[in-house]
Amino acid sequence: MRGPARNRRAFFQSGMDPFWNRISGAMDLKEPLAFLGFDRSYVKLRREAMATDVEVLYCNYEKMEMRRAASKVLSEIDYYDSLLNIWKGESEFKKLNQQAAKAPVQVREEIFALVKLAKEYHAKTGGAFDITATPLVRCWGFFQREGRVPSREKIDQALSCVGMDYVELDEEKRTIYFRKEGVELTPASLGKGYALDRAMEAAHENKLKTVLINGGFSSVLASGAPKWRDSWQIDVRNPYNHEAPLAHVRLRNQGFSSSGSELQQFEYEGKTYGHIIDPRTGWPAGHMVNVNVIAPTAAEAEALSTAFYVMGVEKTLKYCENHRDIGVLMLCSPDEKGRAEVKTANLNQDGVEVLIPSCQTRRVT
């Protein structure tokens, strides 16, 4: 038995290695278990959480006990889903929104840290990132997925309750207080990335070092890299053609997030309105089609991808000039000829491979 086994192994090592090299390089994360390349394949655990399919991927050369570690990572995601979800059940975050305008509410350390982080990104982006924009999202009908153009009066009324200045934090008592009735927080633009960061801490605590956590491909966090390559590779979605990605992005100890209004938008009187609202004006942002950010953490990538979508191309590029650890790939809004251009900042050829430098969104007559 041992002799033939060694012969088969020698055959695969000498004759099949180039084959597996090509397969693993080409397929990578498109369908990680579509091939079995001995030490060149992934193990994938999946669970529904945070309104998407969350996946934990690690390499099959890891020890068997790493499956238990990956399960703990998913359990950590479940914990944050139950803590932050404001759409179902009675989460602690939902109770915060219900009570914080009446009196300071003492919250768990995790919630306090998330809201504090949100205030920091609000300041860094000049108010473009704001988790108090909830009344505006509801005003435009996106909470109910029934988009509509509200009256100017209703927009102004919603705007009067928006602003992180209305959110008061007490570090010593770990309390959160809303200075105005009607203020409401939505963790959607930060919560998933924040949960991925905490889940990665759980992975490292359980000695799982080479791992990728995928939150529906809109938020991704990578640690280490498979030993047959120097990074994890993911595809950047092309809103105009899902079969042809805009780029390949390579991650190592980094977070990634993508923001756009492709999946939540409506048309009214010939104009398209998306669900990402500029909290400073009360109107949907429309400067770009899609924004993809690489950052040191998943939370930062998620917050900035939303903020950059609101800020627009020029202000985003200016921000990146002053923050060299932030990489961005943007698909700009189409010009008068229907051509949408891809622009990048702080991404070299080791970090990104742009496959489509521009998209023709409509036929020019």
The SS3 of residue 59 is: strand
Q: Domain ranges for the chain, please list them.
A: 87-185
Question: In sequence order, which ranges of 169-285 are alpha helices (DSSP H)?
Answer: 191-205
Q: Cα 19 from chain centroid?
A: 33
**Residue 299 to residue 121: CA distance in whole angstroms:** 10
Judging by beta carbons within 10 Å of its beta carbon (0-12, 13-18, 19+), is residue 270 exposed, middle or buried? exposed
CB 57, CB 42: distance < 8 Å: yes
Q: With residue 5 as reference, give the H or E element that holds it.
A: helix 2-11
pTM: 0.86
Residuewise pLDDT in 10s, the chain (365 residues): 334 433 333 333 334 334 334 433 333 444 333 233 345 678 889 989 888 889 999 987 677 778 889 999 999 999 999 999 887 778 899 999 999 999 999 999 999 999 999 999 999 999 999 999 999 999 999 877 788 999 999 999 999 999 999 999 999 999 999 999 999 999 988 999 999 999 999 999 999 999 999 998 789 999 999 888 899 999 998 888 888 899 999 999 999 999 988 778 888 888 888 889 999 999 999 878 999 999 999 999 999 999 999 999 999 999 999 999 999 999 998 888 888 899 999 998 888 999 989 887 754 44
**Check whether domain 87-185 has CATH 2.40.110.10, yes or no:** no
**Residue 271 to residue 127: CA distance in whole angstroms:** 25
| DSSP code of residue 353 | E
CB 304, CB 316: distance < 8 Å: no
The SS3 of residue 71 is: helix
